[in-house]
Amino acid sequence: MAVKVLYFAGLRETLGLASESVALATATATVGGLRDQLVARGAEWQPLAATRNLRAAVNQAMCSFDAPVADGDEVAFFPPVTGG
């Protein structure tokens, strides 16, 4: 199973990556599990765990971190942003 992961705003800049295809680990069934799988890659991925008020969406619908993920889903992570 694989999902397309999108990174926005500061996450995109920090990770140097706008999107990628990620093979889901067998135990990964939720957005939170996907985040944990990505954070386990190493120190450069810690912003996904450390960003306060990190938001997520599955297939362009805002969701909580206990939302399920399935093969072919698009999962987006983005930090809060402000404008003026």
Match 């306060």 to its residue by tokens: 52
**pLDDT-based confidence at residue 51 (cuts at 50, 70, 90):** confident
Q: What is the mean pLDDT of residues 56-82?
A: 94
- Whether residue 83 lies inside any domain: the answer is no
- Whether residue 23 lies inside any domain: the answer is yes
- Whether residue 13 lies inside any domain: the answer is yes
How is 30-54 classified by DSSP, letter by letter? BHHHHHHHHHTT-GGGTHHHH-TT-
Which residues have C-beta within 8 Å of that of residue 26, sequence separation ≥ 6? none
pTM for this one? Answer: 0.93
- Whether residue 68 lies inside any domain: the answer is yes
Residue 82 in this model has a pLDDT that exceeds 90:
no
- Whether residue 84 lies inside any domain: the answer is no
pLDDT at 80: 83
Which residues have C-beta within 8 Å of that of residue 5, sequence separation ≥ 6? 19, 20, 21, 22, 34, 38, 74, 75, 76, 77
**How many structural domains does the chain have?**
1
Q: What is the length of the chain?
A: 84
Residue 19 in this model has a pLDDT that exceeds 90:
yes
Range of the domain at 19: 2-78
How large a percentage of the chain has pLDDT more than 90?
Answer: 85
- Whether residue 8 lies inside any domain: the answer is yes
